[in-house]
Amino acid sequence: MKLELYIQERDELRRQWRDIRSMRLDIKIVSDGKGCTSIEIRHNADYKRLKKEQKHISKMIKHIENKICREMKNEA
């Protein structure tokens, strides 16, 4: 029962991670089109916020995957 909930939560977080990744890439493409350098893109406030959020979600996914592994180990 718990295992299915963890898997659903992980899949939802992965979807969010991919959405944020595409938003970051959109910012990068638009900024590139304007002639911004890679340093200027990295200092963009929205880009930095999305990168921070993506890193946080990655950490949450990693924790949930550890829980999934523990549950699978206990079921075996």
**pLDDT above 90: residue 9:** yes
Average pLDDT over residues 69-73: 92
Is the CB of residue 4 less than 8 Å from the CB of residue 64? no
Average pLDDT over residues 50-70: 97
Is the CB of residue 67 less than 8 Å from the CB of residue 30? no
Model confidence at 15, pLDDT cuts 50, 70, 90, reads very high
Tell me if residue 18 falls in helix, strand or coil.
Answer: helix
Average pLDDT over residues 49-70: 97
Locate the DSSP E strands across the chain: none
Average pLDDT over residues 6-20: 97
Is the CB of residue 31 less than 8 Å from the CB of residue 14? no
Parse the chain into domains and list their residue ranges.
2-75
- What letter represents residue 50's amino acid? L
